[in-house]
Amino acid sequence: MRSDVKPDRRSRDNARVTITDLSQALSLTKGTVSRALNGYPDISETTRIRVIRAAQAMGYRPLSQAQAIKTGRSCSLGLVIELSEHDAHAPFLAEFLAGLTQAASAEGWTLTIATSESEGDTLRIMRDLILHRKADGFILPRVLWDDPRIAFLDRENAPYICYGRSKNHAETSYFDALSEASMAEAVTWLAQLGHERIAYIGSASHYAYSHLRRDGYRAGLEQEGLVFDPALMIEEVLDPEEAAKATRQVLAMARPPTAILCATDTLARGVYDVAHEMGLKIGSDLSVIGYDGSPEAQAMWPRLATFAVDNRKAGAALGAMLMARVRDLNAPLQQDLIAAEFRPGGSTGRPDKTPEELAHHVIRLSVDRSRND
């Protein structure tokens, strides 16, 4: 009876093939096998091929943890999500993660995720992740115009890739959507429908994209030969409530805008709220365009016209860029841009009133409502 050879152990331990298994099968030392696989020059080409063949045949893949303690690299990408603005992350997070993990796992890497409560927290966490080799580098989502993470990681000499273009984007590796072009495109779309007064509701200026989108709006106006009215541009708008306030403000003008362009879909919600509250019909009385292509846009009625960013592709690109950067921190910077796709919706249409008529309409509706109270 020799059947009691720990059959329980076998099922799990036998599964992984280690470098020692491989070296024994090849009658080489594990040092040689390691060098062969890692491209050291002091291994003959014939041996190298023999080793690689056997490694594939036996299904050998080094344990990244074991590698990490000597090399310092754990083959994992870091992503720290700042919760204070999680709302801003929610819509695109799933697709984004999909892209990232797809790129990572294609090369046997993994994604390590952490969340933080504040800016300082984020830096602490990133340092900790690097120190404990839970991450070799970082993807920086929602890049700020003047982002402390960039300065920090530069100082720490850690690899990173920005999702977005910061103030100094020329000196960083980044991936970004051409949102300025989208904003200009939106203006063109509205102008061709016949809109002449187009308002812009922009988000907090510490976000890098705010600058770009605002500039895109202005570029679009110029391109279409429309005059820029500073009163129609409201920035530093953080959430739907503030967007609603901004909407009321521009609709109270003597010559209100017949269309409102929003830096994000979330802000557009505020515009819708005011329209519903006032009784304005979106798509005829007032046209609206957002940006992000979020699920929210799908839930609004009429459908919000918006620009859909392929966040999965963005994640995949960022992951690949970061891995390259981890492998060689001195490689030339990588910078890539992608265009967002316009997704029309019922929220835009020909203006059925001039600005002056719209102003009267707004007043009449407000009188009606106060009479009902």
Contact residues for a copy of itself (CB under 8 A)? 12, 15-16, 61, 63-66, 68-69, 74, 76, 81, 83, 86-87, 89-91, 93-95, 97-98, 101-102, 105, 110-115, 125, 129, 131-134, 156-157, 240, 269, 272-273, 276, 294-302
N- to C-terminal Cα distance for the chain?
A: 93
The residue among 40 and 228 lying less far from DNA, judged by its C-beta, is: 40
**Minimum distance from residue 74 beta carbon to DNA (Å):** 12
- For the chain, helix (H) and strand (E) counts, in that order, are 15, 12
Q: Please list, residue by residue across 272-287, b when 16 or more beta carbons sit within 10 angstroms of its beta carbon and e when fewer do.
A: bebbeebebebbbbbb
Q: Which of 159, 97, 166, 163 minimizes the C-alpha distance to 126? A: 159
Contacted entry of DNA, a copy of itself, none for residue 276, CB cut-off 5 to 8 Å set by kind: a copy of itself
The residue among 33 and 181 lying less far from DNA, judged by its C-beta, is: 33
- Positions touching DNA (CB under 7 A) are 16, 18-20, 27-32, 34-35, 37-38, 40, 42-47, 62-63, 66-67, 69-71
**Minimum distance from residue 52 beta carbon to DNA (Å):** 12
**Minimum distance from residue 51 beta carbon to DNA (Å):** 9
Alpha-carbon torsion, ordered 247, 251, 254, 257, to 10 deg: 80
Contacted entry of DNA, a copy of itself, none for residue 28, CB cut-off 5 to 8 Å set by kind: DNA
- Residue carrying structure tokens 């984007």: 169
**Minimum distance from residue 204 beta carbon to a copy of itself (Å):** 19
**Minimum distance from residue 239 beta carbon to a copy of itself (Å):** 11
The stretches of the chain forming alpha helices (DSSP H) are 7-13, 19-26, 30-37, 45-58, 64-71, 86-106, 119-131, 148-156, 179-193, 208-224, 240-251, 265-278, 295-299, 311-327, 355-372
Cis-peptide into 62, omega within 30 deg? no
Category of 344 on φ-ψ map: left (φ > 0), alpha (ψ -120 to 50) or beta: beta
The residue among 87 and 356 lying less far from a copy of itself, judged by its C-beta, is: 87
- Residue carrying structure tokens 């392929």: 310
The residue among 131 and 367 lying less far from a copy of itself, judged by its C-beta, is: 131
**Minimum distance from residue 158 beta carbon to a copy of itself (Å):** 9
The residue among 38 and 192 lying less far from a copy of itself, judged by its C-beta, is: 38
The residue among 68 and 219 lying less far from DNA, judged by its C-beta, is: 68
Q: How many CB atoms lie within 10 A of CB 322?
A: 29
